[in-house]
Chains A and B, each alone.
Chain A
Amino acid sequence: MDRVTKKPRLATVWLGGCSGCHMSFLDLDERLIDLAARVEMCASPLTDLKDFPEADITLVEGAIANQEHLESIHEIRKRTKILVSLGDCAVTGNVTAMRNAFGVDDVLNRAYKELAAVIVGIPSGNGVVPRLLARVRPVHEVVKVDYYLTGCPPSADAIHECVMALLDGREPVGEVKRFG
């Protein structure tokens, strides 16, 4: 509950993914305007650990792929009452986790050595860019997840139903407490 507006606080964050789940959220289209009237949108760039807001509901897109994601998700979990894995990368790792079949060095070398004509440096986690984790993991492997919205991406209707149900204090329609 927001102290000033007295509205529930909704956050959306993005970890290792393509943004398609956020685009599906924007596909609420004009329903976004109605949603904005009902909640306090407190979406945060997820790498601002200290700034991630206290939220009633947080939708998390993407898998845990680098050191910053790993640090963020613990902070997000601490500050969020209900955490929803939004879409297949958050739920299973999906396409983001396809690199688990290769080593981190193989993947980096392919992009930045073999395919580059000029190599000034390789971005491998020097402090400015985050270090890639050896293995990409779904969100529930790292922190507790309350609801799962599957799909690549989940449809706007599914996102709408889930958020509205949680705001109304009822269970969302569909298979959202587990997956698989």
Chain B
Amino acid sequence: MPERILIHPVTRIEGHAKISIWVNDAGGVESAQFHVTEFRGFEKICEGRPLHEMPGLMARVCGICPVSHVLASSKAGDALLGVEVPPAAVKQRRLATFAQVLQSHALSFFHLSSPDLLLGMDAEIDKRNIFGVIEADPGFARRGIRLRQFGQRVLELVGGKRIHPGWSVPGGVQTAVTAAVRDEIGAWIPEALESMTIALGRMKSVMDSFREEIEHIGNFPSLFLGTVTHDGALEYYDGVIRIVDAEGNTVADGLDPLRYPTYLAEASEEWSFMKFPFYKPLGYPGGQYRVGPLARLNVATSAGTPRADRELREFKHRSKGAVCESFHYHLARLIEMLHSVERIEEIVADPELLSEDVRTKAMPNRREGIGSCEAPRGTLFHHYFVDADGLIRKANLLIATAQNNLAMNHAVEQTAKHFVLPAQLREGMLNRVEAAIRCYDPCLSCSTHAVGQMPLIIEVRSRSGELLDRVEKG
């Protein structure tokens, strides 16, 4: 009997990772681990850099959600300058936040996960990708591509560049929005709303065929953490932290994101480059919590826009307490996309967006600054210390995806225990284990696997590392 099944690489996720499934003496799945294999060391390499350079540098943490890093970094910079940001700059940053949620979620849903959802978990491996979806349903695929394009186009128009826009800086933003830009963004809204209605309808219509997956792919109680407004509505740019438990009870509310080190901390393990954040009062690893779309919808009492509020009410009816099924990250992501389109429409209708007063200039006035916002994958924190000249002395980043690390490991293990029969391995079983990871849309890095055939190697190794068996697909 093999002792360890290694899924290497995990495909159709944004980055490189492996999964180990450990097999016990009885031939069943004993446990599983999710390993992230990338590391670049941003917390060290920024030392000595001027604080005004940080948003541009920190964008490079991630090519999928650079705007979240730009904004958390800009907000930490605002705090270091000790200034108030002009209202028009805040509106631009909010606009970029929603554009980013839209494009990033579109990538996750259409380019990466829709092959499982529309073609099936056991579909032919060489068709189970975005090009397979294009072939099967070109109209639907094109809508997905254009939703992502809309988000990216907004970032290009507002931030000057689709990827790594450096327009947001400590104290505000560098350029004003023109009427022509506002009008072009506005012209996209009707198509985007229509596409979201179609996508939501499609998702709900296929959910019945995934009952077993919904029940067993990462369905477990946990805490959920996210940002809300002071009256509890969905919020991404500036708010307070709320934590609820699996029953939906509020565990903590009104937490100041600037005080995150008092309630969140991280652990290191040798088998993954991704750290393991936990909720301090419950310790490690008991302080497991989830962030991102599912968590945000679980902690928010309302969405604040009419269409998304209707969807949110329906969503909350799926459970008496919090919605705990990881599979519902997909639906939550679509609701957040709809909400983003509504918010973009709202912001471009606001005349103040066009104000040319967009930046407050100052020298550094503080030695420590923290910036926080909701990135597509969850709550993000940037924490900087500078010297008297504004050069970075120390930085800490608490990344959204990492906060789901414990939960992803939990989900992988639960899914493997239910679906994987080590003695009769089939590729579809392992695809379900990978699908558990795809629910969380981890941003480990890239979409290499989104385009084209995805080879998969399954290696069975002994604990000493000796190769016992190898299956190649694709």
What per-residue 1/0 map shows which CB atoms of A21-64 lie under 8 Å from chain B?
A: 11111110110110010001111111110110100000001000
Q: Any chain A CB within 8 A of the CB of B204?
A: no
Residue from the list B40, B44, B447 in contact with A106, Cβ < 8 A: B44
The distance from the CB of B104 to the nearest CB of chain A, in whole angstroms, is 10
- Report the nearest B residue to A95, measured CB to CB: B60
Q: Which of A73-81, A121-129, A137-145, A166-174 contacts B (4 or more CB under 8 A)?
A: A121-129
What per-residue 1/0 map shows which CB atoms of A111-137 lie under 8 Å from chain B?
A: 111011111111110111110100000
Q: Any chain A CB within 8 A of the CB of B451?
A: yes
Instruction: Point out which of A17, A124, A128, A130 has the most chain B C-beta atoms below 10 A from its C-beta.
Output: A128
Q: Known: A99-B40, A115-B396. Contact between A45 and B449, CB under 8 A?
A: yes
B-side contacts of A124, CB under 8 Å? 270
> Would you call B451 and A41 a contact (CB within 8 A)?
yes
Q: Any chain A CB within 8 A of the CB of B30?
A: no
Q: Known: A123-B270, A126-B271. Contact between A43 and B451, CB under 8 A?
A: yes
A-side contacts of B148, CB under 8 Å? 26, 29
Give the A interface residue count (CB, 8 A). Answer: 70
Q: Any chain B CB within 8 A of the CB of A152?
A: yes
Q: Any chain B CB within 8 A of the CB of A68?
A: yes
The distance from the CB of A14 to the nearest CB of chain B, in whole angstroms, is 4
User: Which residues of B, 34-69, contact A by the 8 Å Cβ criterion?
Assistant: 35-41, 43-45, 57, 60-64, 66
- Report the nearest A residue to B453, measured CB to CB: A42
> Would you call A110 and B43 a contact (CB within 8 A)?
yes
Q: Known: A36-B131, A46-B448, A95-B57. Contact between A26 and B107, CB under 8 A?
A: yes
Residue from the list B268, B446, B455 in contact with A112, Cβ < 8 A: B268
> Would you call A152 and B272 a contact (CB within 8 A)?
no
Q: Any chain B CB within 8 A of the CB of A90?
A: no
B-side contacts of A40, CB under 8 Å? 452
Q: Complex formed: what's the CA distance from A42 to B40 in Å?
A: 27
Q: Any chain A CB within 8 A of the CB of B260?
A: no
B-side contacts of A14, CB under 8 Å? 16, 445-446, 448
Residue from the list A23, A50, A118 in contact with B63, Cβ < 8 A: A23
What per-residue 1/0 map shows which CB atoms of B148-184 lie under 8 Å from chain A?
A: 1100100000000011100000000000000000000
B-side contacts of A47, CB under 8 Å? 8-9, 16, 37
Residue from the list A22, A33, A96 in contact with B145, Cβ < 8 A: A33
The distance from the CB of B416 to the nearest CB of chain A, in whole angstroms, is 16
> Would you call A122 and B454 a contact (CB within 8 A)?
no
B-side contacts of A25, CB under 8 Å? 451
> Would you call A23 and B447 a contact (CB within 8 A)?
yes
What per-residue 1/0 map shows which CB atoms of B364-386 lie under 8 Å from chain A?
A: 00000000000000000000000
Q: Any chain A CB within 8 A of the CB of B267?
A: yes
The distance from the CB of A97 to the nearest CB of chain B, in whole angstroms, is 9
Q: Any chain A CB within 8 A of the CB of B273?
A: yes
A-side contacts of B450, CB under 8 Å? 22, 26
Q: Known: A118-B268, A120-B267, A121-B268. Contact between A30 and B41, CB under 8 A?
A: no
Q: Any chain B CB within 8 A of the CB of A150?
A: no
Q: Any chain B CB within 8 A of the CB of A91?
A: no
> Would you call B37 and A126 a contact (CB within 8 A)?
no
> Would you call A19 and B284 a contact (CB within 8 A)?
no
User: Which residues of B, 117-169, contact A by the 8 Å Cβ criterion?
Assistant: 131, 134, 138, 141-142, 145-146, 148-149, 152, 162-164
The distance from the CB of B79 to the nearest CB of chain A, in whole angstroms, is 19
Q: Known: A121-B268, A123-B268. Contact between A111 and B145, CB under 8 A?
A: no
- Report the nearest A residue to B57, measured CB to CB: A95
- Report the nearest A residue to B447, measured CB to CB: A22
Q: Complex formed: what's the CA distance from A121 to B269 in Å?
A: 4
A-side contacts of B449, CB under 8 Å? 43, 45
Residue from the list A22, A95, A153 in contact with B448, Cβ < 8 A: A22
Q: Any chain B CB within 8 A of the CB of A18?
A: yes
Q: Any chain A CB within 8 A of the CB of B20?
A: yes
> Would you call B268 and A120 a contact (CB within 8 A)?
yes
> Would you call A19 and B37 a contact (CB within 8 A)?
no
> Would you call B138 and A99 a contact (CB within 8 A)?
no
Q: Complex formed: what's the CA distance from A119 to B268 in Å?
A: 5
> Would you call B448 and A45 a contact (CB within 8 A)?
yes
The distance from the CB of A19 to the nearest CB of chain B, in whole angstroms, is 3
The distance from the CB of B67 to the nearest CB of chain A, in whole angstroms, is 12
A-side contacts of B445, CB under 8 Å? 14, 17-19
> Would you call B44 and A102 a contact (CB within 8 A)?
yes
Q: Known: A41-B451, A48-B8. Contact between A27 and B152, CB under 8 A?
A: yes
Q: Any chain B CB within 8 A of the CB of A83?
A: no
> Would you call A48 and B268 a contact (CB within 8 A)?
no
Instruction: Point out which of A25, A53, A123 has the most chain B C-beta atoms below 10 A from its C-beta.
Output: A123
What per-residue 1/0 map shows which CB atoms of B260-277 lie under 8 Å from chain A?
A: 000001111111110110
Q: Known: A44-B455, A126-B271, A153-B164. Contact between A99 and B265, CB under 8 A?
A: no
Q: Complex formed: what's the CA distance from A132 to B271 in Å?
A: 14
Q: Any chain A CB within 8 A of the CB of B472?
A: yes
> Would you call A99 and B455 a contact (CB within 8 A)?
no
A-side contacts of B472, CB under 8 Å? 50-51
> Would you call B273 and A27 a contact (CB within 8 A)?
no
> Would you call A45 and B453 a contact (CB within 8 A)?
no
B-side contacts of A30, CB under 8 Å? 142, 145-146, 149
Q: Complex formed: what's the CA distance from A51 to B18 in Å?
A: 16
Q: Any chain B CB within 8 A of the CB of A12?
A: yes
A-side contacts of B474, CB under 8 Å? 51
- List, sorted by A's number, 19 A–B pairs whose CB atoms are closer than 8 Å: A20-B163, A22-B447, A23-B64, A23-B162, A33-B141, A43-B452, A44-B455, A45-B11, A51-B474, A65-B40, A107-B45, A108-B39, A116-B266, A116-B268, A119-B268, A120-B270, A121-B268, A121-B269, A124-B270
Binding site for A on B (CB under 8 A): 8-9, 11, 14-16, 18, 20, 35-41, 43-45, 57, 60-64, 66, 107, 111, 131, 134, 138, 141-142, 145-146, 148-149, 152, 162-164, 265-273, 275-276, 278, 280, 284, 396, 445-455, 457, 465, 472, 474
